[in-house]
Amino acid sequence: MQRWAGRLLIAVALGHMVLALGSVLPGLRTLAPDGLLGMIGAPWGPPQPEQHAAFWSSLGSFAGVQALWGLWVLAAAREGRQPVPGSGLGLLVLTALQLILAPISGFWLNLVPALLLMAAEARVRVAPPEAAS
């Protein structure tokens, strides 16, 4: 379960970045004449909502952190240990907050890895202790 949760976290993050960058890159010269990082603009300049939305939906999104989270979960599974206890609940709470802010979004996809992580954590809690060798 834990490996599937990690894989799904990575897949959702990569899918998000592909779709977000696919929608941003064709209009990049209009959105950010100074390049992708120029989308944020100078903090003292006038607000540019189109540029800001393009940045925060692509490079500034949670996708990079989510991919790292998935890699961390996979690494823990390969080593035969659980990630930090409560990481499934943490992901569930984060996903719930994201869904409150953007109910029509792909955040719904994060419910599956959150529930898988919670199930893996519950399995560890109810497993009998290993016999000492």
Average pLDDT, integer, range 77-85: 81
The pLDDT of residue 132: 46
pLDDT of residue 29: 67
Evaluate whether 98 touches 90 at the Cβ level (below 8 Å): no
> What is the pLDDT at residue 20?
80
Residues 6+ apart with CB under 8 A from 19: none
pLDDT of residue 10 exceeding 90: yes
Q: What is the mean pLDDT of the chain?
A: 79
**Tens-digit pLDDT profile for residues 27-50:** 766 666 666 555 666 666 666 666
